[in-house]
Amino acid sequence: MAYSTELYIPLNINQSPFNVGIPVKLPNLTLGQVQQLAKEYGLQCLPNAELERLRVMVGGHPYLIQLGLYHLHQKDVTLEELLQTAPTLEGIYSSHLQGLWIMLSGHSELLEALRTLLHAGGRTQIQQIPAYKLESMGIVQFEANQVNFSCQLYHSYFSSCLEGK
């Protein structure tokens, strides 16, 4: 069923009138949660130190942790191979990383904000709107009024992407 009414007030085309719920942001997984998820995948043989290396690489990002554990379970890669190739186009995260790069490549202000963060060597202050957009994409996280890369994966990948530009 569809219906139409007259427009009484101008609507912002960049904001949906259907955003009536409360946004829920998933927190990064802790080592204990990664251990539990690895157990569910039947990967009890992975030592905690190795699971921590994976968690640090992807910053505890739930989807990226799950994807890594899935590939380990399928025996597509070893953990060492996964970690070495993670920030490259050979790694299991290549589609995810390329998708982010495609979204960023059309926005010079976001690329400049990433360059600023890279040149600062980590935690720094960047303009508010690019910081918010990068945080919304999951690339950075706020620490007070400053930002830092949310994980080693993004830091390494975007460093290599921006080297030649």
Taking only Cα atoms into account, the Rg of the chain, rounded to an integer number of angstroms, comes to 19
Structural domain boundaries, residue 50: 31-85
Is the same domain home to 113 and 144? yes
Q: Identify whether 23 is part of a domain.
A: no
Give the confidence band of 89 by pLDDT, cuts at 50, 70, 90: very high
Is the same domain home to 37 and 64? yes
pLDDT tens-digit series, residues 3-33: 555 545 555 666 666 666 777 788 999 999 9
Mark which of 61, 85, 109 sits at the end of a domain: 85
Q: Identify whether 17 is part of a domain.
A: no
Count of structural domains within the chain: 2
Q: Identify whether 18 is part of a domain.
A: no
**CATH number of the domain residue 113 falls in:** 1.10.10
Is the same domain home to 103 and 139? yes
Mark which of 63, 85, 107 sits at the end of a domain: 85
DSSP run (H or E) holding 146: strand 146-149
pLDDT tens-digit series, residues 72-82: 999 999 999 99
